[in-house]
């Protein structure tokens, strides 16, 4: 792995300059960075399950689960633990190493949090990593999740601070940053990225990535989603994003955050095999696997297996994932020690 210093001081203009590179030059740079830090032919696989669907009080303009939108989504209460265990077992049998659970809440109550913790414990007992996305957290709730042994917390920034008000009004951009801080303060791995194709500009995409890369510590996982348009949501009907712009965003993310897993997330059903192959070439090395992502479709598992076989890509095994994460952690510790020593000498 590369021992290059990670940066947390990127300007928006610098990031836009990466976006502006000729496509081949950008992909070459991203692939070079990727190979310095990861096996280019291994992809980490996660499965995502909606454990509580619909009736969310937020007004996120892209989301079918908002109670404020008329999307005809069938609402479901919090799933029983045994159903979650069954789904996690099936995901593990198909090659997933991490099981992610999402609940459509603005923020969980302490009572609901304890029920989710039962699920976290049960999935851990299967030998899988755990990730949850539950909305905003309080500081004590983040601490409780740490005590329960949670591996990852997902809380996307969604878009840039400048464009954010065009998408969501029921919580602020700063609210999202506060939840990420509470999670990071508890040393829970952070999973945070955004959604492309909501009508934002390239400058907005650069601004969103600037917010992520300039956090005190880069997110361990960065999901990049392509908007899945849902009839009945305010963003339905927006012009579709150029596929090459999506691939460029994957490549820029890889260059900015060399040691993070870059996840190819929602929207893969709208991508042909060639586009997905270019995303992996641009530095994506994580994806969701399974037929559903919360409430949206995802490519069938067999289709992914066939694509990987054609590309010579393999699923990253659990032991390989742990080894990669351990090596990245050791690198960060060595880097901090070197920087501290240099500061002492100065």
Catalytic center residues: 56, 60, 63, 100, 131, 191, 263
| DSSP H or E segment with residue 84 | helix 81-93
Long-range CB contacts (< 8 A, 24+ apart) of 18-23? Answer: 18/251, 18/252, 18/255, 18/256, 19/202, 19/205, 19/206, 19/248, 19/249, 19/252, 23/244, 23/248
* CA distance linking residue 160 with residue 206, whole number of Å: 8
Burial-class residue 345 by CB neighbours within 10 Å (0-12, 13-18, 19+). exposed
* CA distance linking residue 177 with residue 7, whole number of Å: 19
Q: How many Cα atoms are found within 13 Å in the side-chain-facing hemisphere of 214?
A: 12
| DSSP H or E segment with residue 195 | strand 194-196
């Amino acid at each position: 792995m590369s021992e290059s210093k990670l940066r947390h001081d990127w300007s928006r203009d610098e990031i836009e300059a990466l976006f502006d590179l000729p496509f081949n030059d950008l992909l070459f740079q991203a692939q070079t960075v990727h190979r310095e830090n990861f096996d280019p032919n291994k992809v980490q696989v996660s499965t995502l399950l909606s454990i509580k669907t619909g009736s969310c009080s937020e007004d996120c303009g892209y989301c079918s689960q908002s109670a404020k939108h008329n999307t005809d989504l069938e609402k479901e209460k919090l799933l029983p633990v045994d159903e979650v265990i069954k789904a996690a077992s099936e995901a593990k049998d198909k090659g997933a190493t991490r099981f992610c659970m999402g609940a459509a809440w603005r923020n969980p109550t302490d009572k609901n949090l304890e029920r989710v913790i039962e699920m976290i414990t049960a999935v851990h007992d299967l030998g899988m990593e755990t990730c949850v996305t539950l909305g905003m957290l309080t500081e004590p709730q983040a601490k409780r999740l740490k005590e329960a042994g949670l591996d990852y917390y997902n809380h996307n920034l969604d878009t840039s601070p400048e464009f954010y008000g065009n998408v969501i009004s029921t919580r602020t951009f700063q609210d999202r940053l506060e939840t990420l801080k509470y999670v990071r303060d508890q040393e829970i791995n952070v999973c945070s990225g955004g959604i492309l194709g909501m009508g934002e500009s390239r400058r907005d995409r650069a601004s969103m990535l600037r917010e992520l890369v300039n956090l005190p510590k880069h997110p361990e996982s960065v999901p990049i989603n392509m908007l899945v348009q849902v009839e009945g949501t305010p963003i339905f009907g927006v012009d579709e994003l150029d596929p090459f712009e999506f691939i460029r965003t994957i490549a820029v993310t890889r260059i900015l955050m060399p040691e993070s897993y870059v996840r190819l997330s929602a929207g893969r059903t709208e991508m042909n095999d060639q586009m997905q192959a270019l995303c992996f070439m641009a530095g994506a090395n994580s994806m969701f696997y399974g037929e559903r992502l919360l409430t949206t479709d995802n490519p069938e598992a067999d289709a992914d297996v066939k694509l990987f076989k054609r590309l010579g890509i393999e699923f990253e095994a659990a032991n390989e994932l742990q080894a990669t994460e351990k090596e990245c952690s050791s690198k960060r510790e060595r880097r901090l020690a070197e920087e501290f020593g240099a500061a002492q000498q100065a």
